Structure 1
Amino acid sequence: MKIYTLHKKQNLPITLDQAWGFLSNPKNLKIITPEYMGFNILSGADRPMFAGQIIQYLVTPVLGIKTKWVTEITHSVDKHYFVDEQRYGPYALWHHKHFIKEIDGGVEMEDIIDYKVPFGWLGQLVHPILVKPKLEEIFNYRTKKLETLFGVYKVK
């Protein structure tokens, strides 16, 4: 069983309160997801994020195939971090840690995603040509969208 990791960091010139306010609102996930993915929240986004929250989505991650995705917020520490885990969806495992910390002139946001593709060796075979590039594309879009929304900040 191969577990992959995607690790991204981004700095933005906003306050910790602004960053947490945006990221802890599940409805904002649609804003930072590429439009072609047809991301639609079905339920669970009616209140600010909390541990135990179940959120259901419809998403089209690859090849135009609509998929239901159910995640649970398993951990949440106000203005520090939260974790979402897939309960049902396209991955054999999805564990996504979001960290936020104050830095000089803004915040550093860090995403660490540990995931496993389905279908055993066949999934591992398509991972480098389909899954990994798609995840990189989605998170690169997210980075650019957050920069557009909040401005770009470069660390010295």
Structure 2
Amino acid sequence: MGIYTLERTQAIPSSLEKVWDFISSPDNLKVITPDYMGFDIVSRNLSSKMYPGMIISYKVSPLMGLKFLWVTEITQVKEFEFFVDEQRVGPYKFWHHQHHLKEIDGGVLMTDIVNYQPPFGILGDLCNTLIIRKKLQEIFNFRTQKVQELFGKF
């Protein structure tokens, strides 16, 4: 019944403002999510800018085409530096995702830190070892590729 961490960094050859505008817009979540996940935002009247307290509801199919409702809350935002989303309803027992940006020579360093706990105790730990961790890495690999397509390779 562990809490696991996935950390990823990506250097992006673009301005801090452009990267922030892209990653902090809920509309772009679908762009950086693999099509097979069937990602659909179901929230109505979402603001184009994230703010603390914002609730985003969506449907996803991470495994075997099963649709899950996933509700996240944006709990913290420091413009051009970071924001945090936390699961309120969804497939994980615990989900806390930090998105950090830092200006570097020639662009921006984007760092994601995801702390998560699968459901179902020891069975969830086994599923993490066999499936979940690999699936999360695959999703973040896809995202890295999409960000490179959009902003270029560093």
Q: In the TM superposition, what whole-angstrom CA distance separates every residue of 1:18-59 from its partner, at most 9, and x where no partner exists? A: 011101110101000000100000015333100000000000
CA contact (8 A) 2:58 2:71 kept: yes
Say whether residues 1:40 and 2:40 are aligned partners.
yes
CA contact (8 A) 2:27 2:48 kept: no
Q: Scaled by the length of structure 1, what TM-score is found? A: 0.96
Deviating above 2 A after TM superposition, structure 1's stretches of 4 or more consecutive aligned residues are 44-47
For 1:6-155, list aligned pairs within 5 A.
6-43=6-43, 45-153=46-154
Which residue identity lines up with residue 31 of structure 1 in the other structure?
V
Q: How big is the alpha-carbon RMSD for the aligned residues of Structure 1 and Structure 2?
A: 0.8
Q: How many residues align?
A: 153
CA distance in 1, matches of 2:108, 2:80: 11
CA distance in 1, matches of 2:124, 2:21: 36
Deviation at 1:5, TM superposition (A): 0.2
Which residue identity lines up with residue 152 of structure 2 in the other structure?
G
Q: In the TM superposition, what whole-angstrom CA distance separates every residue of 1:42-97 from its partner, at most 9, and x where no partner exists? A: 01533310000000000001121100000000000000000000000000000000
Structure 1: 5+ residue runs without aligned partners?
A: none
Structure 2: 5+ residue runs without aligned partners?
A: none
